[in-house]
Structure 1
Amino acid sequence: MFDIQVNGYGGVDFNADGLSVAEFERACERLEADGVGAILATVITTSLDAMSGRIRRIAEAVEQSAVVGRVIRGIHVEGPFISGAAGYVGAHPTRHVLPATPDAARRLVDAGAGLVKLLTLAPEHDAGHATTRSLVDSGVVVAAGHCNPALDELDAAIDAGLSMFTHLGNGCPREQDRHDNIINRVLSRSRALWVCFIADGVHVPLFALRNYLSVVGVDRAIVVSDAIAAAGQGPGVYSLSGMDVVVDEDLATWSADRKNLMGSACPLPLGVANLVERLGVSEDDATRMTHHNPWRALGGT
């Protein structure tokens, strides 16, 4: 499996400062043992300095360790160029949210020394979609997420090179317009986008995920874990980028105030089991959504 959204795993938070190579190795060995052979390590919104430092540390660990280099095939930057509006911002710290600019994005990409493969931003906060164009021209895949672009803004971003949507059904308010909302807008453009979903049954109820997959189709859908350090660990209190995450008995990952979900404690293989055992997805189609499609979306085969 190739999981393109992993914030941490097996007790290791990729968004912590000063991680040792041994800690990266422990997470990667656990991922491999659980059946995930490749990931994009995900860095989420904080200050540009801190994000750059964390990206740089991941790149250094990839260079220094065979197992880390084997498992971490790139970096997914989620933020800080997202919507700061309530609901859309999710658990990302609002004080660090920024409008997208090519220079700021380039700073993050350069910190990864070629490893930044995917960046999630809000199209409505990318003036003239200049950042999207700049990133795509440099070989970085651009996804929309934690955003609320109008349909014409989404179309313009697609024209500029936007090719993916991050964890549809999440990063948006619990209550929104019943028809003209970000979920329906993306579904209406799913032939032009790779659409990612979290299949833990918590972020999106499985009956709704079935509906979404029926519209998007397995040829354009990607299933991710959005795993945090709690993945594979069970209930308890964990950390994501210095923020407490409370994992309950259902493996729901709540912020301390219980207002937002914060990543997932469900390893990708458990999400695949949900697809196959509870939604009746064939094993071939599950493999397509967790292996073939992620590689194709990032320009592989």
Structure 2
Amino acid sequence: MKPFDLQVNGYAGTDFNGDALTAESLHHACAALEEDGCDSILATFITDHIPTLERRISTLVALREKDELARRMISGIHIEGPFINPIKGYVGAHPPAAVKPANVDDAKRLLDACSGLARLVTLAPEHDEGSKTTAFLASQGVTVSAGHCDPSLDQLNAACDAGLSMFTHVGNGCPIQMHRHDNIIQRALSLHERLWLCFIPDGVHIPFFVLKNWLACAGLDRTIFVTDAISAARLGPGRYTLAGWDILIGEDLVARSPDGTHFVGSTVTVPRIKANAYEQLGMTERDLTRVLDVNPRKAIAA
């Protein structure tokens, strides 16, 4: 098994989304990821203003190019936002002031900053008029994922027709309370034959009994496990950052906003995902190989 994590915002004290990323801190994060059994990752950048995203992405790209370990560990880049839903609940921990509708011009700027490393973009289909940005990204060989969004089922299907092929951290990036039937979780699950469905299996973002229900519904053929790890992953309780956010990690190792109203990424690691899968979800090693290795690679044609 060679785990491939499609969503890593930072690790072991290093924040990919910060302005203080250095060659040393990037190497340190990659070494820690390798030590924890991760074969490769997509370095993930969350919503910010386009120039800020361009600068941060370009910095990581340049540092990666000079480091053999970083080149091996970082297979590409996942851009999560800024083309998401700005409504409270759906926007999650992303800064609402930087959220904007999807558009091809800004998408091109972000792809240029990635210097050919863009592999995955998360956006809100309902904020991509005519699915034009989705179609453009798909035409460039980039996997397009729905996330932090609330499209209707018709909008989701239309986006799939245009090239959407994934859903980012199903069950998260949405309000705590929603319509009991017609909600974004049910819509995503209903399209499990069209979409790769990503989950954060830490028992916090999704209680294990709920995740077991969803996996029974969707099956494992198009299921992917991700960490959504932030700089606090692998470290203990304390205060950390994600793209300027102040994050509090309690004794339970859960990453929360300082006011405790919502999660801010995750501190789960691949070893903990494996333990959770065996002990809480009743999965086999073959199952884990599918959701941590085989499916992620198929999803982005790695």
Equivalent residue letter for 2:226: V
Larger mean CA deviation between 194-203 and 16-25 belongs to 16-25
Equivalent residue letter for 1:97: V
Cα drift, residue 21 of structure 1 = 1.1
Distance across 1 between alignment mates of 2:255 and 2:49: 23
Cα drift, residue 95 of structure 1 = 0.2
**Structure 2 counterpart of 1:33, from 32, 35, 52:** 35
Q: Secondary structure at the residue paired with 1:195?
A: strand
Q: Is 1:149 paired with 2:151? A: yes
Cα drift, residue 250 of structure 1 = 1.4
Q: Secondary structure at the residue paired with 2:164?
A: coil
Instruction: Calculate the TM-score normalised by the size of structure 2.
Output: 0.98
Equivalent residue number for residue 86 of structure 1: 88
Residues 227 and 264 in structure 1, CA contact (< 8 A), matched pair in contact too: yes
Q: Is 1:199 paired with 2:204? A: no
Equivalent residue number for residue 272 of structure 2: 270
Equivalent residue number for residue 290 of structure 1: 292
Equivalent residue number for residue 119 of structure 1: 121
1:144-192 CA-to-partner distances (Å, cap 9, x unmatched) read: 0000000100000000000000000000000000000000000000100
Cα drift, residue 92 of structure 1 = 0.3
Larger mean CA deviation between 156-165 and 253-262 belongs to 253-262
**Structure 2 counterpart of 1:102, from 101, 104, 107:** 104
Residues 18 and 57 in structure 1, CA contact (< 8 A), matched pair in contact too: no
Q: Secondary structure at the residue paired with 1:163?
A: strand
Aligned positions of 1:154-173 closer than 5 A: 154-173=156-175
Aligned positions of 1:222-237 closer than 5 A: 222-237=224-239
Sequence identity (%): 52
Q: Structure 2 stretches of 5 or more lacking a match?
A: none
Distance across 1 between alignment mates of 2:6 and 2:43: 7
Equivalent residue letter for 2:218: V
Equivalent residue number for residue 60 of structure 2: 58
Distance across 1 between alignment mates of 2:217 and 2:61: 37
Q: Structure 1 stretches of 5 or more lacking a match?
A: none
Cα drift, residue 218 of structure 1 = 1.1
Larger mean CA deviation between 59-68 and 93-102 belongs to 59-68
State the superposition RMSD in angstroms.
0.7
Equivalent residue letter for 2:95: P
Residues 236 and 246 in structure 1, CA contact (< 8 A), matched pair in contact too: yes
1:38-64 CA-to-partner distances (Å, cap 9, x unmatched) read: 000000001101111111111112211
Distance across 2 between alignment mates of 1:14 and 1:269: 21
Distance across 1 between alignment mates of 2:58 and 2:216: 39
Q: Secondary structure at the residue paired with 1:120?
A: strand
Cα drift, residue 278 of structure 1 = 1.4
Distance across 1 between alignment mates of 2:51 and 2:22: 19
Deviating runs (4+, > 2 A) in structure 1? none
Distance across 1 between alignment mates of 2:21 and 2:88: 31
Aligned positions of 1:236-251 closer than 5 A: 236-251=238-253
Equivalent residue number for residue 73 of structure 2: 71
Equivalent residue number for residue 279 of structure 1: 281
Distance across 2 between alignment mates of 1:266 and 1:236: 15
Cα drift, residue 18 of structure 1 = 3.8
Equivalent residue number for residue 218 of structure 2: 216
Distance across 1 between alignment mates of 2:39 and 2:63: 17
Aligned residues: 300
Cα drift, residue 259 of structure 1 = 1.1
